[in-house]
Structures are given as C-alpha cells and as structure tokens.
Chains A and B, each alone.
Chain A
Amino acid sequence: MRYEFDFSAPLTYWPDFVAGAATTLGLSMVATVFGFLLGVLCALGTTGRSAWVARVCNVYVETIRNTPLLVQIFIVYFGLASVGFKVDAFTAAAAALVINVGAYTSEIVRAGIQSINPGQLEAAECLGLSRRQVLTHVVLPPAIERVYPSLTSQYVLLMLASSITSQISAEELTAVANRIQSDTFRSVETYLLVAAAYLALSLVMRVAFWGASYVAFPRRRRTGTTV
C-alpha cells in the first residue's frame, strides 16, 4: 500500500476550517453556559424538598442520558419543525446540546451537592440564613468547586460531541470537513487536519477552564491548592 499524503489541497480551504472551528467554539460556549445553568437548576430540583419536582428532574436526566445525542438532535430539528416550530440548524443544534449537557451537568452537580457535610447546612440554618442564602453561600460554591474537574471533562466532551450537529447541516468543523473532502477527494488529509483542530480546541478549552477556576474560586487562589 503506497499512499502519498498531500495536504496542499485541503489546506487551501483554511478560511473555511477557521470559520468551522469558530462555529464549533460558539456552539460549545452557548451549550456550556446554558447547559450549566439548566444543570444546576435541575440538580437543585433533584435534591430539593419537593418530591414531585425531583421526579420530573430525574425523568429528564434519565431520558437524556439513555438516548443518543443524534436522535435528540433529530427530534429538536425535524420534530419541532413538523409541529410548527421552525428553527434554523444552528439554533436547533445549540438547543439540543443545551438539553443534552444539562442532564449530564445535573448528575455531576448533584454529586457535589450531596457531598456537602450536613453539619454545614445546620450551622447555616442556626445563623438564620434563608434557604436562598444557604444555597448561594453555603451549598453551591463548594459543591461546584468540588466537581469542577468533572465538569471540565464533560464540557470538553460536549465540544467533541458538537461534531454530531453536522448531521443536521450546522456548518461547524465536521460539516466543513465533509464538504471539503468531497471537493478535494483528499479525505484522509482533511479528516486528519480536522482531528488535529479538535485536539487543539480541546486543549484550548482545558486551559480556559483552568484559568477560569482561578477567577471563580478565590479561596483556592489564596490557599494555592489546585482544582
């Protein structure tokens, strides 16, 4: 088997690659921010007082975690369009990713919340803190700090999973690659380039999350413990 690699043809498309990478990052950022908010709310729901809310949140988490992202994307994009909500591919992709990662975030944050020592809650109650204050000052900051590494991995996985949205023609990195390889017939080179781009993106995300941890958790910064 002799094969001569020729990266020149796909490399002439570099502006497309950059645009695709930007879309991938954009999708990931939207999904990370809103997925995080949804996940935290859902985690509070599952650990909260209302059994009814907890049940609804659990059904959501289990349903999402046991079905493929691809099918979820199809339901959001084709399904919603068929019942009258017509959205463009990017919005549908972002919405599906938010719904998907929200469930995973919820499971991670729930573990963090449950790891909080009950003594802390009792102490906070004794100090007369309201339920809201207990959550925002006593429960959530250390809970999220504790599961921060898992959250980082989850959001990097999410960035990689955003490649699946190419299936509904959201113009992100993988969709760009599919188009370029059918233009140039240089499929090995194209996909190797894209794989390298994804590796670089996941490295960028890890560094960004590592930097963000120093802003978000000042106590760590003071004591010098690593996240």
Chain B
Amino acid sequence: MTLLSGAQVHFLFQGLWWTVVLSVMAFVGGGLLGFVVAILRVYGPAFVRNLTMLYIKLVQGTPLLVLLSLTYFGLPTMGVTIDPLTAAGLGLSIYVSAYLGEIWRGCIESVPRTQSEAAECLALNWRQRLVHVILPQAVKIATPSTVGFMVQIVKNTSLASAIGFVELARAGQVINNSTFQPFVTFMLIAALYFALCYPLSVWSRRLERKFHVANR
C-alpha cells in the first residue's frame, strides 16, 4: 500500500514552495515596514512615536487569524478586490512589521548613547550617524533575534490556509480529504515544517552564542 500517489507528493511540494514564497514575502514586506516602524518609534517626534507605539500594541494584541480575515474578507466588502496570496502577504506583513519593529527598536536603543554623541561631535548629520554609526552596530545585535523570528514567520504562514490559500497546511488538508489518513498526512506536514524551521532555529542559536562570545 502506498501512502501517497506521485501526484499527491507533487501537490505537497507545491504547497511547500508556496509556504516558502509566502514566508519570504512576509519577511521582506514586514521587514521594510518594520524598519520604518522602528525608526519612527525611536527618532520620530513625540506624536509619531506614540502613534507607532499604538500601532505596535494594536497589532500585537490582535490574533494573526483576525488580521488575515480582515484583509481577506474585510477589504472586498469595502470595494477592494484581493486574491488570497496578496491578502495573506499583506496581513502577514502587517503582523511581522509590528514584531520586527519592536525587536529592532530595542536593538537600535541598545547601541550605547555615547556612540551617537561621538558621531555628533564629528559633525555627522542624522542620516550619516544612522547609516555609518548606529545601524551597523544595531544590525549585529539584531541578527540572532531576527533569525529566530523567521521561525515564527514560517510557522505563521500556515494560517493563510484559513483564507483558502493553498500552502503546506492547506495542501495537507486537501490530501487528507482524499486519503483519510490524517495521522500520517499531518505528521508528514509537521516534518516538512520542521525541516524548514529547525535549521533557522539552529542558526539563530549559533549566532546568539557567537554574539555572546564577542561581547564577553
């Protein structure tokens, strides 16, 4: 008895591919937006700082599933047509931007204040201080936790299945509906997710250890 036919395996790997695509979309979109959030949160005027803080609190206090439902079911009723991939990419990007924004804010703020003061004394303007002094150091601090958060992104793309986007989890559901072997199917799906996430986890831990050695 073969567990899965060739076509089903092919379908499964197509789902895996879309999970990867969605993860990359969420990371790039969320990263760009999150960078803006982090910069505004640290350097913006008081009003903008409070506004970005509110944005972060709002997004972090809402489940991703509700965010995805808002973008996928909500936008069309407001007259914007949107396909599942765009809706999922948009919802995930918003979600990711709040978390990465908050992580990166901490990293920017943990660069010693004296660094930017020294740069100011050297007559560097704000942009130069940011690009040449603050960010290179902040990026180093941020790398381990950012890689760690990538694991969350990959796992959270599974929720796109709820709005009908066929990624890995949805592919598993579809296959299960025809094979009626949920245990085997979902174990296989879990194993595939594990294969995506575990290397990232290990990488993040290794970066963290390296960072700690460097700062001992």
Contact = CB atoms under 8 A, between A and B. Distances in A.
Interface residues of A, number: 43
A185 B182 CA distance: 33
Interface in B152-202: 155-156, 158-159, 161-162, 169, 172-173, 176, 180-183, 186-187, 189-190, 193-194, 197-198, 201
A219 B186 CA distance: 47
Contact of B62 (A69, A178, A198): A198
A207 interface: no
Contacts of A22: none
Nearest to A80: B183
A8 interface: no
Nearest to B151: A66
A135 interface: no
B74 A187 contact: yes
Query: Interface residues of B toward A: which range?
Result: 35 or more
B182 A78 contact: yes
A186 B187 CA distance: 37
Contacts of B77: 3, 185-188
B11 to A, nearest CB: 16
A70 B161 CA distance: 9
A220 B54 CA distance: 30
B161 to A, nearest CB: 7
A82 B181 contact: yes
A67 interface: yes
B45 interface: no
A50 B33 CA distance: 46
15 contacts: A63-B190, A65-B197, A66-B155, A69-B155, A70-B161, A70-B169, A79-B186, A82-B183, A160-B62, A164-B63, A166-B162, A174-B69, A191-B73, A198-B66, A199-B62
Interface of A: 1-3, 62-63, 65-72, 74-75, 78-83, 160-161, 163-164, 166-167, 174, 177-178, 181, 185-188, 191-192, 194-195, 198-199, 202-203
Interface of B: 58, 61-67, 69-70, 73-74, 77-80, 151, 155-156, 158-159, 161-162, 169, 172-173, 176, 180-183, 186-187, 189-190, 193-194, 197-198, 201
